[in-house]
């Protein structure tokens, strides 16, 4: 591992990408500590501390919400906008046509997603300001005036747009997926505080138990993330001029969890958005509903598991099209032994993918339910989240694979042996 890190640092292109990624993440973390003016932070900390709706939201923002920082909304508005745009692409024919136009259509859809992200950031900023006012965040000596309201909303909305821009910069000029790395850095930043609370309040035996559970979950996540079903592919021989092409055997790898950590992020975003808005309303029944279906409730687990399984199948269908794959195999003379080319191959691939996606989706739902079990059964003093571990391990694996490809292209030994 040490030699692989040295090899990665020796490559000028990879070194620039690593430095650029670290620089952008440092800017993001700096913006998470710069508070907006005129807010009583002590009242906000009492609201967001714990494992409730706002505590979970604060986890994905890297602690920026409790500080009412410039980047308090984090990356969640962009993720919510991306989910809605992907769903609308399936429903609205015009967006479906744009998706089929290649890079030009993708740029147009990304542009719509950015606009929608800013709109969601504006709505959430206004809602949070009204919520903070109801919690006494603006004392009589510094009341919430129209100018202050406009300034805070503008700052939070601009911070959302800037976080989106920083994530896109990492994707374009850095290493890994920018949005995933921003969530990764937010969760990792919250880890030391959680560990400190655990070490100061629990016994050494409990520390050992948590370490064993964490290692077991990480090993299971890596095992499922790397698991795949290999479909054998045979290519027929073709004679082009005086040369013979094809005739070799290979395989088509179908991953058990092809969607990665995206279903977990999507499900959390979908559930957090309405629950958060409900808790911000002055009606007692809406706040009760938010508490019942909040992350700290058992009732939260059922819709979360259902959404995770749905998004696992949905995102897998977006990434892998059996019909296109069957057409490509037929075009280049490839076939699956015992399966007729064309439509039969597409049906076979669809059937196999449907079967292997189910255990991966159920595994994601089970890991995401782990926090509630630990909080209720073991009384964990911080939000030990299977969702957090899934995101951290998944993003780390994807980033390592990108670095691996850069090293292998230059004939260096990679990280994953």
The model's pTM is 0.78
pLDDT the model gives residue 162: 93
pLDDT the model gives residue 157: 92
Distance CA 300, CA 215 (A): 25
Q: Tell me: the pLDDT tens digits for 21-42?
A: 999 999 999 988 888 877 777 7
Mean pLDDT for the stretch of residues 246-264: 79
Q: What is the DSSP letter of 7?
A: H
CB 319 within 8 A of CB 259: yes
CB 120 within 8 A of CB 80: yes
Q: Tell me: the pLDDT tens digits for 270-283?
A: 777 666 666 666 66
Domain ranges (residues) in the chain: 2-409
Confidence of residue 115 (pLDDT cuts 50, 70, 90): very high
**Does domain 2-409 match CATH 3.40.50.1970?**
no
Among 200-204, 307-311, 372-376, 392-396, the range of highest mean pLDDT: 307-311
Mean pLDDT for the stretch of residues 382-403: 74
Q: Tell me: the pLDDT tens digits for 309-343?
A: 988 888 888 778 888 888 888 887 788 888 888 88
pLDDT at 307 over 70: yes
Distance CA 220, CA 18 (A): 28
Contacts 24+ apart (CB under 8 A), 270-279: 270/80, 270/83, 270/307, 271/295, 271/300, 271/303, 271/304, 271/307, 272/53, 272/56, 272/57, 272/76, 273/76, 273/80, 275/53, 276/53, 276/54, 276/57, 276/124, 276/127, 277/127, 279/53, 279/54, 279/131
Distance CA 412, CA 308 (A): 38
SS3 54: helix
- What is the phi/psi pair of residue 310, to 5°? -65, -50
Among 154-158, 333-337, 394-398, the range of highest mean pLDDT: 154-158
């Amino acid at each position: 591992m040490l030699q692989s890190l040295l090899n990665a640092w020796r490559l000028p292109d990879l070194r620039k990408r690593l430095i650029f990624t670290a620089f952008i993440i440092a800017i993001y973390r700096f913006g998470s500590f710069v508070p907006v003016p005129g807010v009583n932070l002590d009242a906000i900390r009492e609201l967001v501390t714990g494992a409730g709706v706002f505590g979970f939201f604060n986890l994905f923002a890297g602690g920026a919400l409790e500080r009412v920082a410039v980047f308090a909304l984090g990356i969640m508005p962009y993720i919510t906008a991306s989910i809605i745009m992907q769903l609308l692409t399936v429903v609205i024919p015009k967006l479906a046509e744009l998706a089929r136009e290649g890079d030009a259509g993708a740029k147009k859809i990304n542009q719509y997603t950015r606009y929608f992200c800013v709109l969601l950031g504006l709505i959430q900023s206004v809602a949070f300001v009204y919520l903070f006012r109801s919690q006494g965040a603006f004392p009589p000596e510094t009341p919430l005036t129209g100018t202050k309201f406009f300034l805070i909303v503008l700052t939070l909305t601009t911070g959302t747009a800037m976080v989106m821009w920083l994530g896109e910069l990492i994707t374009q000029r850095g290493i890994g997926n920018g949005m995933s790395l921003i969530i990764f850095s937010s969760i990792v930043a919250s880890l030391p505080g959680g560990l400190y609370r655990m070490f100061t309040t629990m016994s050494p035996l409990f520390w050992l138990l948590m370490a064993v559970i964490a290692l077991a979950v990480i090993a299971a996540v890596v095992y499922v993330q790397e698991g795949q079903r290999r479909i054998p592919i045979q290519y027929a021989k073709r004679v082009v001029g005086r040369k013979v092409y094809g005739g070799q055997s290979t395989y088509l790898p179908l991953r058990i969890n092809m969607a990665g950590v995206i279903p977990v992020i999507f499900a959390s975003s979908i559930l957090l958005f309405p629950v958060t808005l409900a808790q911000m309303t002055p009606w007692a029944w809406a706040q009760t509903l938010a508490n019942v279906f909040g992350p700290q409730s058992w009732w939260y687990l059922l819709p979360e598991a259902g959404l995770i399984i749905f998004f696992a199948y949905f995102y897998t269908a977006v990434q892998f099209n059996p019909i296109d794959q069957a057409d490509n195999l037929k075009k280049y003379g490839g076939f699956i032994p015992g399966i007729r080319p064309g439509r039969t191959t597409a049906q076979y691939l669809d059937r196999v993918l449907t079967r292997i996606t189910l255990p991966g989706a159920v595994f994601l739902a089970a890991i995401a339910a782990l926090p509630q079990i630990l909080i209720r059964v073991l009384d964990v003093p911080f939000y030990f989240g299977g969702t957090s571990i899934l995101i951290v391990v998944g993003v780390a694996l994807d980033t390592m694979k990108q670095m691996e490809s850069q090293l292998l292209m230059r004939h260096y030994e990679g990280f994953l042996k």
